[in-house]
Amino acid sequence: MQSPHSAFFRRIDLCYGKGKEECTSCAKKPQGGSRYALPAFAVPVSFDVLEKHSVCATFFVLGSRVEGREEVLLRMEALGCEIGNHTFSHADLTRLSAEQCKEEIDKTNAEFERALGHPASVVRPPYGFYNAAVRKNVPYPLVLWTVDTNDWRPRNVAELADAVVREAEDGCVILMHDQQSSTAEAMDAIIPALVAKGFRFVTVSELIAATDGACKAVKMPGGG
């Protein structure tokens, strides 16, 4: 008999932005000066789906995008979602000095302090890029992912939903972006399908606590 999955976690990577270019996947290509598009409707649509199904997510937010969007962050928290630090300027941390790394993280946390009254306790390095120096210079759990949905581009909703439901496993971290309506539509199918399979949605900090820091997608500070 299959035991219930106890620590499924769904992560949504939120790249706030401006301009019309797409958010290239954080997973693949670093590219200086790229812009991150976030259609105005995208966030409320995603929130509505999370709220409809009473599940949470973790949103990794750029510090440079907090100003003027404080209400959005407050709604995230009101829904039980976690807000993670995605650096201030979407920098490739592996190219920065210790001091610059610290500034990217600290400036972002200062914005969260201002908007929410507390800093973030987890960091997602842009593009998933990190090395030994980044781990030393950024003394927070570094959150990566185990399922990459490539949903930053428009995707067929049924295909996207099927892929996520098929790839989900206990303790997984699913990378999604908040800029395509196909993501929100797929979520509306993915969430009940995974709940029916016994998965439970938790924030990344809950996942870290549930796995005692042994989650595959998370590099703990000071860890090997």
For Zn ion, give the closer residue by CB, 23 or 207. Answer: 23
Considering only the stretches 7-15, 63-71, 95-103, 106-114, report the one whose residues sit in contact with Zn ion under the rule CB under 5 A.
7-15
Number of neighbouring beta carbons within 10 Å of residue 96: 18
Number of neighbouring beta carbons within 10 Å of residue 218: 23
Number of neighbouring beta carbons within 10 Å of residue 91: 21
Vertex 152 angle, CA 149 and 155, to 5° = 70
Residue from the set 14, 15, 144, 161 that interacts with Zn ion by CB under 5 A: 15
Q: How far is the CB of 45 from Zn ion (least distance, A)?
A: 19
Q: Are strands 142-143 and 218-219 parallel, antiparallel or unpaired?
A: antiparallel
Considering only the stretches 9-17, 51-59, 98-106, 144-152, report the one whose residues sit in contact with Zn ion under the rule CB under 5 A.
9-17
Residue from the set 12, 14, 26, 190 that interacts with Zn ion by CB under 5 A: 26
Per CB under 5 A, 174 contacts Zn ion: no
Q: Nearest CA to 151 among 18, 66, 24, 51?
A: 24
Q: How far is the CB of 26 from Zn ion (least distance, A)?
A: 3
Q: How far is the CB of 170 from Zn ion (least distance, A)?
A: 25
Considering only the stretches 8-16, 131-139, 163-171, 200-208, report the one whose residues sit in contact with Zn ion under the rule CB under 5 A.
8-16
3-state helix, strand, coil in the chain (%, to 5): 40, 10, 50
Considering only the stretches 2-10, 11-19, 189-197, 212-220, report the one whose residues sit in contact with Zn ion under the rule CB under 5 A.
11-19
Contacting Zn ion within 122-161 (CB under 5 A): 126
- DSSP H helices, the chain, are 42-53, 70-78, 98-116, 132-137, 157-167, 181-196, 204-210
Return the residue nearest Zn ion (CB atom). 26
Residues at the site binding Zn ion, with contacts judged by CB under 5 A: 15, 26, 126
